[in-house]
Amino acid sequence: QQQVKQSPQSLIVQKGGISIINCAYENTAFDYFPWYQQFPGKGPALLIAIRPDVSEKKEGRFTISFNKSAKQFSLHIMDSQPGDSATYFCAASLTGKLIFGQGTTLQVKP
Amino acid sequence: EAQVTQNPRYLITVTGKKLTVTCSQNMNHEYMSWYRQDPGLGLRQIYYSMNVEVTDKGDVPEGYKVSRKEKRNFPLILESPSPNQTSLYFCASSLILSSVGANEQFFGPGTRLTVL
């Protein structure tokens, strides 16, 4: 019930393409869904986040789509760039505690 | 500069030799947490602290200890490290998390620990 399942584990996209990472959860009490981006040798950093009363949030090239009935949410990276190559973690919050997905390593080829 | 610092960044040790990884933040955050990152498992919470002298277990607390004597510091202690504690460790901090939703967590640069 506490798990957040993330897929795919790795993703290779051509420059200019769309990267899509999916997450699924079971516990309907989760109240906050952030995505974190991690570059090699660095700690994760907040990229974008959404609350369950909103179906979509866009910040620049990054969009979260949220499907409350399906208990799924996804990150879309439009016009993917080599500088987007990183590991992405979805997460869900329950009474403030963050539960992370397994992570997706994204490689954007020039 | 607002930041979370961890020391050391890299550590190789042997089984059973006590070690401490320090964590410090300069943002006056109430909430601090330790995670370990392992391939295919994501980030798993070890311990967290809501404020000074208040700590609680996360999902994988076995073999670890923490203390929160000062607001800015949250050291992670391995009393008797074992090879299965070889991992990448992150400290994080944030303003106090509310029941409505979580505030942004700021992560340190990580400590790569190898236990032989």
Q: Could you identify the residue written with the tokens 């869904």?
A: A33
Q: Which is nearest to B105 in space by CA: A18, A35, A8, A15? A: A35
> Which pLDDT tens digit goes with each residue over A26-36?
999 898 899 99
> Which pLDDT tens digit goes with each residue over A90-106?
999 877 678 999 999 99
Q: Which residues of B touch A89 (CB under 8 A)?
A: 42-43
Which of A14-18, A31-35, B20-24, B67-71 is the least confident region? A31-35
Q: How much of chain B, in percent, has pLDDT values that exceed 70?
A: 95
Distances from the Cα of B43 to the Cα of A99, B52, B58, B68, angstroms:
8, 24, 11, 21
Instruction: Check residue B3 and give its pLDDT.
Output: 94
Mean pLDDT of B19-26: 98
CA distance A32 to A15: 30
Mean pLDDT of B110-115: 98
CA distance A41 to A94: 28
> Nearest CB to B42: which of A43, A51, A101?
A101
Residue of A nearest to B38 (CA): A102
Distance from CA of A82 to the nearest CA of B (A): 22
* pLDDT band of B38, cuts 50, 70, 90: very high
Residue of B nearest to A30 (CA): B101
Evaluate if residue A1 carries a pLDDT over 80. no
Asked if B57 contacts B47 with a C-beta cutoff of 8 angstroms, the reply is yes
Q: Which is nearest to B74 in space by CA: B59, B60, B94? A: B94
> Nearest CB to A100: which of B4, B31, B43?
B43
CA distance A90 to B41: 12
Q: Which among B48, B105, B112 is the top mutation candidate for probing chain A, defined by the most A β-carbons within 10 Å of its own β-carbon?
A: B105
> Which pLDDT tens digit goes with each residue over A44-91?
999 999 988 899 999 999 999 999 999 999 999 999 999 999 999 999
* A61 DSSP 8-state letter: T
Q: Which run of H or E residues covers position B23?
A: strand B19-25
CA distance A23 to A75: 9
Instruction: Check residue B19 and give its pLDDT.
Output: 97
Reduced to 3 states (helix: H, G, I; strand: E, B; else coil), residue A7 is strand
Evaluate if residue B101 carries a pLDDT over 90. no
Distances from the Cα of A74 to the Cα of A39, A87, A104, angstroms:
20, 15, 12
Q: Which residues of B touch A46 (CB under 8 A)?
A: 104-105
> Which pLDDT tens digit goes with each residue over B58-97?
989 999 999 999 999 999 999 999 999 999 999 999 887 6
Residue of B nearest to A43 (CA): B109
